[in-house]
Amino acid sequence: MPSQRHSLSLAQEFPFGKRLPDLQFLFIPDNLTFLCGQDTSRGVIYIAIVPVFFNCEGVPMSENLIQRTASAYAYPLLIKNLFLAPVVDNPEQEIVYRDQHRYTYTEFKKRVCKLANALTSIGVKAGDTVAVMDWDSHRYLECFYAVPMLGAVLHTVNIRLSPEQILYTVDHAEDDFILVNEEFLPLLEQIKGRIDTVRGYVLLQDGGNEVESGIEFVGEYEALLAEAATEYTFSDFDENTRATTFYTTGTTGLPKGVYFSHRQLVLHTLGTMSALGTVVNQGRFHQRDVYMPITPMFHVHAWGLPYVATALGVKQVYPGKYAPETLLRLIEKENVTFSHCVPTILHLLMSHPLFTKIDLSNWKVMIGGAALPRAMCKAAMELGIDIFTGYGMSETCPVLTIAHVTEDGLSEDEEITIRCKTGRPLPLVQLRIVDEEMNDVPPDGESVGEIVVRAPWLTQGYLKDQRNSENLWKHGYMHTGDVAWQDGNRYIKITDRIKDVIKIGGEWISSLEVEDLLAGYPGVAEVAVIGVPDAKWGERPLALVVAKEGADVSSKALRQHIRGFVDKGILPKEVVTLTVQFVEAIDKTSVGKINKKLLREKYGKAAAEKQ
């Protein structure tokens, strides 16, 4: 048996004199081995079961493992180690919450420690789950660190779900404490009597007004912090400890819980930082930037960018509840240079009169959650905005690819094409596009297949849902459900979700491609294309269109517009079965994505009855 001390996630330590567990009946597969040893300086015996890897000749590689000095520090990849860097590098940099709070990173460090002490004082301990219901705020950022650094799990509650769905997620996650903004008290009061696991509630307020509620609070956030000490020694623990959990938006059945460890969040931070920070110019995120998320902090950790921003030590601006004028005023006042959002949010900003009146020439914005329309990209670029695409999903922590422009001398049209692609994989992301037999399709810019992926920051399953977890990880790769192609330069382009592809006869039509072409027609504000039942073809495309105010646009004109692309060979001839319906608004999910499942339910049946 090796005698050196191994730093292993499965290791267990026992004090001298304590009876060791009975191991004689323990079954150990061929690819695992049992290690034991002692550390006299610490008075412990340790045991571990670890994987054994073999080289190409079948020889175990365990003999080549590094030897670790007994007193060497293993440095686990914990969120606390991201937390320390900006305080050292840039202690006087600012964190801003709307027009209400402004403090330095030095104060941020003290507040995180105060929050850890406050949570401990009300009974939070390692292994507990602490839920947060808040708008994007400095408080939320503090929770991003303090809660998991205690060894507890941070549950970022999607406050846009229905009360019944929120009840489901709170119970399913087995939340022990809830930190709730006073604006969400009416919502919480609807379900409080049916919540079984919660032991205490903490009130979050922007002002000091007295709150009338049937909920009994263990304290108010700022009052608890005011009484807490400014120092806290965060312990080391296993880097594979669960740090966060949250729930998918539930367009198919009940919301599904995903979860991420400290190790995964640290590696995602470093991977995203390396991808965004090492490009020469376009889309670069660096230490002189001013960061403001326009993706909710409850949704995939605001794409993980608050961790990146804090590790870089940049100025951060948190806007609270999203309102177009508030967001634009903050961009102007605080000189925001880097944001991220879904196309729906950017559309709301672009529709506001202030959008064209302020200087946005230093603003970089990464678009995700849905395809970036060419027309939106072009309009943003004309104002000097550095707009580009990022891709991921709730299950992937989330960033997998980024569409950076790395070539010089491109035409405007060529540059827009690249910015609207799904992008290239980040470092450590192994991304494949495969057919139904898991064979790679050619990277020819035409052949499509499903995106499957491996990376060190992917959720390892759905919480308490073995069946869906196995489907997600079929064949050892995470299945995204996205249909895409890859070109010779490794750029990915998603053409549709598998469930959203429109099947006309034997031809598969990309709803996203048709949407993009319709969105470029003058007078079109928003568009969604879905497949509806058709007696002859099986399915046909239906375009749901929101026209710009005062615009003169007709169904006939839009169909002729699409026919032009059919005549040029850009779209298959089956697309001429397209019908157009004008609507007041297009249904969205709780995170601003077009809800095609709901659209098919609303409009598919009516379309079938008209046949």
**Residue 356 bears catalytic tag:** no
Active-site residue identified among 107, 142, 334, 395: 395
Which one is catalytic: 129, 156, 169, 248? 248
The structure tokens listed for 107 are: 């104060």
Q: Quick check: is 539 catalytic?
A: no
Question: Is 537 in the active site?
Answer: no
**Tokens at 156, concatenated:** 């970022």
Cα separation of 143 and 83, whole Å?
A: 12
Q: Cis check for the bond before 442: say yes or no (omega within 30 of 0).
A: no
Strand residue runs (E) in 320-377: 338-341, 364-367
- Owner of token pair 């006073």: 182
- R_g over Cα of the chain: 26
**Within a 10 A sphere around the Cβ of 307, how many other Cβ atoms?**
24
CATH fold match for the domains 81-492 and 501-609? no
* DSSP codes, 537-581: TEEEEEEEEEEPTT----HHHHHHHHHHHHHTTSS-GGGGG-EEE
Domain 501-609 in CATH: superfamily? ANL, C-terminal domain (3.30.300.30)
- Considering the domain 81-492 in this protein, what is its CATH number? 3.40.50.12780
Active site (annotated) includes residue 605: no
Catalytic residue among 378, 503, 593, 597: 503
Please, what are the averages of pLDDT over each run of 10 residues along the chain (611 residues)? 37 47 43 53 53 64 81 95 81 94 96 98 98 98 98 96 93 98 95 95 91 93 98 97 90 84 98 96 95 97 97 96 97 98 95 97 96 95 98 97 96 97 98 96 95 98 95 97 95 93 81 92 94 85 94 94 90 89 92 88 74 57
- Among 13, 251, 508, 602, the active-site one is 508
Global model pTM greater than 0.85: no
Q: For the chain, what are the domain ranges?
A: 12-64, 81-492, 501-609
Alpha carbon 363 to chain centroid, angstroms: 21
228-280 pLDDT tens trace: 999 999 999 999 999 999 998 755 578 999 999 999 999 999 999 999 999 99
